[in-house]
Amino acid sequence: MSTSAPSGPTGPAVPPGLERPHFVGIGGAGMSGIAKILAQRGARVAGSDARESETAQALRGLGVTVHIGHDAAHLAPDASAVVVSSAIREQNPELAAARTRGLPVVHRSDALAALMAGARTIAVAGTHGKTTTTSMLAVSLAALGLDPSYAIGGDLDAPGSNAHHGGGDIFVAEADESDRSFHAYSPEVALVLNVELDHHANYASMEEIYESFATFAGRIRPGGTLVVSADQSGAVELTRRLRGREGLRIVTVGEAADADVRITAIVPRGLTSEVTVEIEGRPLDFTVSVPGRHYASNAAAALAAGIAAGAPAAELAAALAKYTGVKRRLQPKGEAGGVQVIDSYAHHPTEMTADLEAIRGAAGAGRVLVVFQPHLFSRTKELGVEMGGALALADASLVLDIYPAREDPLPGVTSAIIIDAARAAGADTTAVHEREAVADVVAGMAKRGDLVLTMGAGDVTDLGPQILARLGD
């Protein structure tokens, strides 16, 4: 494919140096989105991932070369750069080969920042809710015919739907604070949903978190807008610290009485919610097609950010109903034997609590049964007790071993921390060390009318189909 396509509203079609990029870990949510946009713009993209996936297949459908497994031989002789995320270790053979050859090594965030060049960027940040809120913005702005480009940390409805190279001048991006990646962006509108301590391997204190989010806000273009929660305590403190900054407009959104965009009503309707917000003294009603108060709050934040970027309020509010969910964000997986199975990406105590409260409202008289897989040793060490407390909201839960992702084990840090805390909070919690046993255990517990929630950021999502198959036996 040609790399000499004309410049569009987002700057050069292919950023210099990324004409023939090689992605290490191309199947990841963030990496695959950047690879997709580059391919759509005309770059000759290649990469590798640890295992075969639907995402890899979707990328191949765009002409991307995807290798399975990591090997220095996968790095093409004419590769122009190697793109990595913070999860890639220096020992990776492809990264090591790039270093030996003197190839530019580009962090994922810098590659995304290059794609945003020249665009009117809306960057969505926060400890929780980024993927959902970014998706709400992308879907609703697209429904208005604005054809935004977007890069999201999860698929909307099909593998590969996490990113798009649009013809419009707006670029909506999920801005990741976990490794300070969001410091690379210079948005016109920045949205901060919440500010909490997480990613303990990178942040030692809340003060470091505040400093990091303040740096992100400082990257907003002159005359730009910070849209920030008026309800969450960390976001409120961030707002206090940023008030008075020259050239920064701040718009607060939430249920607080002094919010600039005030949520005045959230009325649950089964698996949807009817929301009313007040903007400049005028009420505006819209529907959110996913359950739960926190999703309604995300939608109000998306509305405020879209308005800040110039979208008409009433039309944008109506368009928000077009959003029907993101994979792994309370995603229905099916029903068997009268038991529903839903998948949740929640892995932080705040997220777990929010999703369990939302599901409780949708379960009716049925029980809520949770299969929880902790994510990261560092997070479990710091927040395991709070995770256990969140599980007390379920009628019963199974807790798997910790999913390590990029981390090595920590002495004394196991799922027992969570299980002990859950039981201390009165929860009915069982340890399951063999993933292969989960479907049988759930089938022995579940009764018609119950709802099973697979929860966590690791491979617990793969258990949903197994549970459904066993329930259907």
Q: Which residues are tagged catalytic?
A: 130-131, 174
Q: Is position 127 annotated in a ligand binding site?
A: yes
Q: Which residues contact 73 (CB under 8 A, 6 or more apart)?
A: none
Find out whether 130 is annotated in a ligand binding site.
yes
Q: How many CB atoms lie within 10 A of CB 190?
A: 29
Q: If we measure between CA atoms, which residue out of 120, 140, 139, 260 comes closest to residue 190?
A: 120
List Cβ neighbours of 409 (8 Å cut-off, separation of 6 or more). Answer: 377
Is 389 annotated to bind a ligand? Reply is: no
Residue 409 has a CB neighbour count (10 Å cut-off) of: 10
Please state, in angstroms and rounded to a whole number, the distance separating the CA atoms of residues 69 and 54. 15
Spatial separation of the C-alpha atoms in residues 453 and 366, rounded to whole Å:
13
Alpha helices in 282-374 (DSSP H): 293-308, 313-319, 349-363
Per-residue CA distances from 428 to 368, 421, 457 (Å): 11, 11, 22
To the question of whether residue 129 is assigned a binding role by annotation, the answer is yes
- β partners of residue 151: 163, 173
Contacts for 204 with CB less than 8 Å, ≥ 6 apart? none
Distance of alpha carbon 457 from alpha carbon 374, whole angstroms? 8
Q: Distance between CA 358 and CA 370 in Å, rounded?
A: 13
E-state strands within 110-158: 120-125, 149-151
Sign of the alpha-carbon dihedral angle for 134, 138, 144, 148: positive
375 is known to lie in a ligand binding site:
no
Backbone angles phi, psi at 240, to 5 degrees: -60, -40
- Known binding site: residues? 126-132
- Positions at the binding site for ATP: 126-132
